[in-house]
Structure 1
Amino acid sequence: MKLNGKTFHLKGKVQNYAWGGYSFLPALLGFDNIDNKPCAEYWMGAHPSAASIISDDTTSVALNELIASNPAETITSKVFEQFGELPYLFKILDVKDMLSIQVHPTKTEAAKGFDAEQAAGIPINAPHRNYKDRNHKPEVMVALSEFWLLHGFKQKDDLMQTLIEVQEFNVLMPLFKKGGYKGLYQMVMEMDQVYVDNMLAPLVKRELRRKAHNELTKHDAGWWVAKLFEGKDEVVNIDKGVFSIYFFNIVKAEAGEAVFQGAGVPHAYLEGQNVELMANSDNVLRGGLTPKHIDVPELLKHTLFEGVKPNVMKGNDIGNHAVYYPCPVPDFGIHKISLQGNSHEATASSLEIMIAVEGGAVINSSRNIVLKQGESVAILPGETYKIEASGKCVLYKAFVP
């Protein structure tokens, strides 16, 4: 399986999850959404369930197949020895409706959990399966618009203030004082549904009224709780994730700002568009805002029970018209390249995937490629290239550091 050169056009795959928007990805990628399907994610990578296709304009091949046929040339022997695959998955997301609350395990715990479920004979696609692979799933997101997310528990004083201010939560104060974050979270996650509804129904109805009267902003937990229930006939079977909207930090990132999510930190995307880069894994322990399986004991085992001060990164200017967002993992790194009638020069040290999110450019390398907005390229290790833009062009690049 041989392609000419080391710089290739790359075509990713759109995922039509229900929470996605209808127009952002079609506009970015340049296709008509004639079936009016929700377009949630655009995947660029070698994940076997939705591998990208790369092409030298005469021959096309799935990226995972190309890597398998020649790992040393495509991802380097070092990366193959360490990870056995391309260790990252690169995405563009359009979040219209809130995603499920998630916690990701450490690499060690993921391997233990996967092996235990394999030994128990649980099918890999079973809805109650927690571990789909033996890998961890750290991730970083860089906002493409104003972006809202939940990230980690509030710090102690802030969470106590929430329990005081929300009258329905006053009864939980002694529990938090005595049992800390774990005692509080375990209590609400194990609560019988009838008690959940009794406690939260008056709160949800109040937040719906307050949002309707413009008394809330997106900085308020109540705004998101009301969004969740708007248009529903009755407030019943209330998702336990509603507690988390009050207990976690609500974070706003402006375009170009980034947030890293490490193992154990509970989080959920609320609204907006972003570039997301993650380890090549599908291990998710859910904590609500979803009809999918929630394994509370497993969730509690892997959740980081401490207050978090969210770190919204502006990125470090590293020269060469590039900004670097530091991520404390060996699986991936990300650069934002911003050009305005100038150029960026580099040599790929790993397999790099790049997407133009604004404007276009020419990539001069062993194969010269014209890159338009929404188009992506894959660049093999050792390739020296120069990106030139006559006007404004913004690109995001994923690589193995």
Structure 2
Amino acid sequence: MQDKIYKIKGKVQHYAWGGYDFIPHLLSIHNAEHKPYAEYWLGAHALHTSEIILDDGSCISLYDFIQANPEFTLSNKVFSVFGELPFLLKVLDVREMLSIQVHPTKANALKGFENEENAGIPINAPHRNYRDKNHKPEVMVALSDEFWLLHGFKSLNAIEATLANTTELSILLPLFKKQGLKALYQFVMEMEQADVNAMLHTLVRKELHKKATGQLTKFDAGWWVAKLFENSDELKNIDRGIFSIYFFNIVCLKKGEGIFQQAGVPHAYLEGQNVELMANSDNVLRAGLTPKHIDVAELLKHTIIEPIIPEVLLGKPITLHSPESEYRCPVSDFALNKIQWQGTKQYETVAATPEIILAVEGGFIIQDNTGKNKVIKQGEACFITPNTEYKINSSGSVQLFKAFVPVL
């Protein structure tokens, strides 16, 4: 295997919150069983690795290939620093809102992983928090016309106004004024379930009525609360994650806009499709809005409980008139660029580190410096080994996302 560029096939995750059409359409799959297609993974995560597609149509594990050829596939520098492909590229289709979640720092992930290993918790146990030793900062770019998410805490003034103007939550206002945001959030997250039900039951009913009568927009917390419950026959054991919807920033990204989420920033995806790039990890601490394992105490230990102003990333051309734009992130594990144009064009560049390129719109022909070609259709992807000069040729409308390691 002396090729420098390989076609790869990712792994689909059929989580219940996923949509039914977007990812199957992207991958040219007929979803006859009407299964939810939530995520499409491209990378070398040990539990869900992509596969290299050889010229004869057979496949081998990208994870195994990298393990067997680390310096060729990663470069000496990337291998010495990370010991693996340090990023994971995904496509998400969010039909139902995801869990309120936080990702740990690298040091805390290592500590948590070792503690759970020493406790004898199986790596795939449902109640396991740390499935690997890595942190999980992530950047995402909207593929849909709108992508909605929760991202960090609102300003103190906005939270105070929410408490004051929401009758069912106004009982929390004295606590917030006297002891602050951290005490408020810890109180509602640790509240007994019976008290959660008592506080939120009437509020949920009210928001359901408001949404049904057109009194709410997606910028209102109540719109998302109502969406969560509008198909429920009864209100029992109301999810405490609802408090976060009222306390967090509600962000709407337009197509092509992105956002970076660092360790400790609480967030939740609400609706839409995106491409997402993260450190090679599956460590998620959850606090609500999910049937998966919830560990409030562990989440609170790692959450940045302070207001933040969401910073929307617009994508900046790497050079004047370049078809390649970058979404800058303050991490060394990964970088995400978009390559986009209309019409017939050839684009030449060099992969200094390992790259994965995914075609989300249109297709292209990629040629390495030996003259060997690979045809990549919409929904397909390729893995490029380090120090490879390559050319991309395409006509029509093309939109590609490139994941790579910043030059260390």
Same fold (TM over 0.5): yes
SS at structure 1 position matched to 2:288: coil
Deviation (angstroms), 1:123: 2.0
Q: What is the CA–CA distance in structure 1 between the aligned matches of 2:131 and 2:366, rounded to whole Å?
A: 37
Alignment of 1:178-257 (within 5 A): 178-257=178-257
- State whether structure 2 residue 350 is matched by structure 1 residue 351: no
Moved more, 139-148 or 283-292: 283-292
SS at structure 2 position matched to 1:21: coil
- State whether structure 2 residue 399 is matched by structure 1 residue 397: no
Amino acid at match of 1:369: K
Q: What is the CA–CA distance in structure 1 between the aligned matches of 2:53 and 2:389, rounded to whole Å?
A: 19
- In the other structure, the counterpart of 2:304 is 304
Q: What is the CA–CA distance in structure 1 between the aligned matches of 2:287 and 2:71, rounded to whole Å?
A: 40
- In the other structure, the counterpart of 2:264 is 264
Deviation (angstroms), 1:127: 2.0
Alignment of 1:1-400 (within 5 A): 3-58=1-56, 60-145=59-144, 146-319=146-319, 320-340=322-342, 341-365=344-368, 366=370, 367-400=372-405
SS at structure 2 position matched to 1:44: strand
Deviation (angstroms), 1:216: 0.7
Amino acid at match of 1:185: Y
Deviation (angstroms), 1:375: 1.0
Amino acid at match of 2:328: P
Amino acid at match of 1:159: I
Amino acid at match of 2:159: L
Deviation (angstroms), 1:115: 1.3
Deviation (angstroms), 1:56: 3.6
Q: What is the CA–CA distance in structure 1 between the aligned matches of 2:395 and 2:291, rounded to whole Å?
A: 48
Moved more, 362-371 or 200-209: 362-371
Deviation (angstroms), 1:52: 0.8
Checking the alignment, whether the CA contact within 8 Å between 1:46 and 1:52 is kept in structure 2 is yes
**Any gaps of 5 or more consecutive residues in structure 2?**
none
Q: Deviations over 1:151-210 (max 9, x none)?
A: 001011111111111111111111112222210111001111111011101000000001
SS at structure 2 position matched to 1:195: helix
Q: What is the CA–CA distance in structure 1 between the aligned matches of 2:289 and 2:36, rounded to whole Å?
A: 18
Q: What is the CA–CA distance in structure 1 between the aligned matches of 2:53 and 2:350, rounded to whole Å?
A: 20
Moved more, 136-145 or 384-393: 384-393
Deviation (angstroms), 1:326: 0.6
Q: Deviations over 1:31-61 (max 9, x none)?
A: 1111111001111010122211113413532
Q: What is the CA–CA distance in structure 2 between the aligned matches of 1:24 and 1:172, rounded to whole Å?
A: 41
**Any gaps of 5 or more consecutive residues in structure 1?**
none
Amino acid at match of 1:399: F
SS at structure 2 position matched to 1:79: helix
Q: What is the CA–CA distance in structure 1 between the aligned matches of 2:376 and 2:137, rounded to whole Å?
A: 29
Deviation (angstroms), 1:378: 0.8
Checking the alignment, whether the CA contact within 8 Å between 1:193 and 1:237 is kept in structure 2 is yes
Amino acid at match of 2:326: Y
Deviation (angstroms), 1:377: 0.8
SS at structure 2 position matched to 1:227: helix
Q: Deviations over 1:80-132 (max 9, x none)?
A: 11111101110000000011111011111111111112222222222222111
TM-score (norm 1): 0.97
Deviation (angstroms), 1:141: 0.6
Q: What is the CA–CA distance in structure 2 between the aligned matches of 1:347 and 1:55, rounded to whole Å?
A: 22
Deviation (angstroms), 1:24: 0.5
Q: What is the CA–CA distance in structure 1 between the aligned matches of 2:288 and 2:3, rounded to whole Å?
A: 47
Aligned length: 399
Q: Deviations over 1:132-165 (max 9, x none)?
A: 1111010111000110000001011111111111
SS at structure 2 position matched to 1:369: strand
SS at structure 2 position matched to 1:287: strand
Provide the alpha-carbon RMSD of the alignment. Answer: 1.1
Checking the alignment, whether the CA contact within 8 Å between 1:4 and 1:56 is kept in structure 2 is no
TM-score (norm 2): 0.96
SS at structure 1 position matched to 2:308: coil
